[in-house]
């Protein structure tokens, strides 16, 4: 009885926090949108400022005349006005909310977004009609920014419908009926987050990528779909872990058969390890080569990545951050390699779409989360692992970015095997559990730690290469191993003493 009262008390507390977050949601969205629009307008003006005529139209909507022209430096007035207007309206919105005037607060936020959009359109129009050279947008806008924003918006719009679908059809995780050692829920939460993520990815991909042109991309999407559908079944009724393992390898085999295999392994201290040299040749109706080591290495890497990423999917908001950051980093690294391989443009877009869908999911999985990823989260891991293979140098970057969940997973397996337990049966001793239980961190703080640490590791992965990256990898791994060893064994011994 006391346990139920505690659960319901926590549930009321979470409900109050949820209501508070929902009431500030419009401010957060308006702020992100407005800052993005102002930043993009600033970049457009800055990149084309030298090509503007010395005299530009300030009120171009009226009949052309000298009295409407002004020095081009005055175009910065629009940027400054946008910033001032944004600050004033945001302050008014927050002040109205603190006075319990929710509707006036929303009005300020929406009015803020509307006016800043109009100013941006106005400024953009002046730049286009005043430039002396054609405006050519940087390629990264088309290949990274547009797909990312599109996927983020679509996922944000799709997810509420998935939440409603999950509630109506019983895809719900209830802490009172679902007993699990790692359970952190205090009230029923809809699952099927993997479906929301996949729908955001596939919808955005259909709009900006010619999917039919890439056998590899079709393989990734089919393999991911199998995992999402299996995840839905698991969300409804737990599937036997051995059956899930078989389905994982089946999905991975589709990806590998589409042509995504590891032809070589990068070696920062010498020549690359050429796995493609080990092959079996079948001479029947033409010559066919089976690169068995390349296939085996790809299967192991994809399986490792999708499962060890999922180990971090235990606290609200963490997994969306991992997916977003590592996918964005892969997209950036691919973009830098397009000069040498034009075919990477398609996969650069796809990686950006995954990052955008991850951000879209973050809106609904940030503490307190409104939807759980479920087992379908492995689909995101499959996509990221497959993309990291396309151009094998991205494996090293992915290893650095995902260092914490990878090594945490290794410790989990060692810990469970030492207890004579199955390695993939859950417990409550992952890194995020230690931060929650032993250090008293709340879920928001844990999510922020994972996001920030992953960003730092991602920055190191991008800025380093070759031997420097290898040394950074070793040093970071040593630090994380020491921390995880202390958390897994040091605290435990202290408690037992």
Per-residue pLDDT of 466-491, as tens digits, reads 778 778 888 888 888 888 777 766 55
For 139-179, how does the pLDDT look when each residue is reduced to its tens digit (9 = 90+)? Answer: 888 899 889 989 998 998 899 999 999 888 888 876 655 55
Q: Percentage of residues in the chain with pLDDT exceeding 70?
A: 80
For 257-279, how does the pLDDT look when each residue is reduced to its tens digit (9 = 90+)? Answer: 998 988 767 666 666 667 766 66
DSSP β-bridge partners for residue 273: 265
Backbone angles phi, psi at 379, to 5 degrees: -65, -40
Q: Percentage of residues in the chain with pLDDT exceeding 90?
A: 25
Question: Residue 175: what pLDDT?
Answer: 63
Give the Cα separation of 334 and 391 in Å (integer).
8
Grade residue 32 by pLDDT with cuts at 50, 70 and 90. confident
58 DSSP assignment: S
Grade residue 217 by pLDDT with cuts at 50, 70 and 90. very high
Q: Is the pLDDT of residue 229 over 80?
A: yes
Question: Residue 60: what pLDDT?
Answer: 55
Question: Residue 179: what pLDDT?
Answer: 55
Question: Residue 491: what pLDDT?
Answer: 53
Q: Work out the widest C-alpha separation in the chain, in whole angstroms.
A: 86
User: Do 118 and 326 form a contact (C-beta atoms < 8 A)?
Assistant: no
Which residue would you say has higher pLDDT here, 219 or 71? 219
DSSP assignment string, 79-130: HHHHHHHHHHHHHHHHHHHHTT-HHHHHHHHHHHHHHHHHHHHHHHHHHHHH
**E strand or H helix at 381:** helix 378-389
User: Do 45 and 79 form a contact (C-beta atoms < 8 A)?
Assistant: yes
**Tokens 């973050």 map to which residue?**
362
Two tokens at 180? 């699990």
Q: Is the pLDDT of residue 34 over 60?
A: yes
DSSP β-bridge partners for residue 172: 190
Give the Cα separation of 85 and 158 in Å (integer).
31
For 421-458, how does the pLDDT look when each residue is reduced to its tens digit (9 = 90+)? Answer: 766 666 666 777 777 767 777 878 888 888 888 888 88
- pTM of the entire predicted model: 0.77
């Amino acid at each position: 009885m006391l346990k139920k009262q505690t659960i319901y008390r926590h549930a009321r507390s979470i409900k109050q926090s949820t209501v508070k977050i929902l009431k500030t949601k419009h401010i957060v969205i308006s702020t992100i949108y407005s800052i993005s629009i102002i930043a993009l307008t600033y970049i457009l003006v800055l990149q084309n400022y030298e090509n503007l005529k010395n005299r530009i139209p300030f009120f171009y909507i009226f009949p052309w005349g000298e009295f409407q022209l002004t020095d081009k430096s005055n175009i910065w007035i629009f940027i400054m006005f946008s910033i001032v207007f944004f600050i004033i309206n945001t302050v008014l919105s927050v002040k109205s909310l603190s006075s319990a005037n929710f509707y006036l607060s929303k009005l300020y936020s929406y009015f803020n977004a509307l006016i800043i959009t109009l100013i941006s359109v106005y400024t953009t129009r002046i730049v286009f009609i005043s430039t002396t050279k054609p405006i050519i947008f940087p390629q990264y806008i088309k290949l990274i920014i547009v797909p990312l924003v599109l996927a983020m918006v679509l996922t944000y719009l799709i997810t509420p419908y998935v939440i409603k679908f999950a509630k109506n059809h019983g895809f719900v995780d209830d802490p009172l009926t679902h007993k699990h050692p790692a359970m952190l829920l205090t009230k029923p939460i809809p699952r099927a987050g993997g479906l929301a993520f996949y729908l955001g990815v596939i919808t955005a991909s259909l709009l900006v990528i010619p999917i039919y042109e890439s056998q590899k991309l079709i393989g990734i999407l089919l393999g991911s779909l199998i995992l999402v559908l299996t995840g839905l079944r698991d969300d409804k009724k737990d599937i036997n872990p051995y059956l899930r393992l078989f389905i994982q390898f089946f999905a991975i085999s589709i990806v590998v058969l589409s042509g995504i295999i590891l032809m070589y392994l990068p070696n920062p201290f010498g020549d690359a390890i050429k796995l493609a040299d080990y092959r079996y040749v079948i001479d029947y109706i033409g010559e066919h080569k089976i690169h068995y080591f390349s296939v085996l290495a790809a299967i192991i890497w994809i399986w490792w990545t999708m499962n060890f990423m999922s180990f971090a999917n235990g606290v609200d908001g963490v997994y969306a951050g991992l997916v977003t950051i590592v996918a964005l980093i892969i997209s950036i690294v691919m973009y830098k390699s397009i000069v040498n391989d034009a075919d990477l443009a398609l996969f650069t877009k796809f990686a950006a779409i995954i990052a955008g869908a991850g951000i879209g999911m973050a809106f609904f999985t940030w503490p307190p989360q409104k939807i759980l990823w479920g087992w379908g989260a492995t689909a995101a891991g499959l996509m990221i692992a497959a993309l990291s293979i396309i151009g094998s140098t991205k494996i090293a970057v992915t290893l650095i970015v995902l260092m914490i969940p990878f090594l945490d997973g290794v410790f989990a397996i060692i810990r469970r095997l030492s207890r004579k337990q199955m390695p993939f049966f859950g417990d409550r001793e992952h890194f995020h559990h230690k931060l929650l239980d032993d250090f008293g961190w709340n879920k928001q703080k844990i999510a922020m730690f994972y996001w920030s640490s992953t960003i730092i590791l991602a920055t190191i992965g991008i800025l380093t290469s070759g031997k420097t990256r290898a040394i950074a990898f070793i040093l970071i791994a040593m630090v994380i191993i020491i921390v995880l060893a202390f958390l897994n064994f040091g605290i435990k011994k202290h408690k037992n003493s």
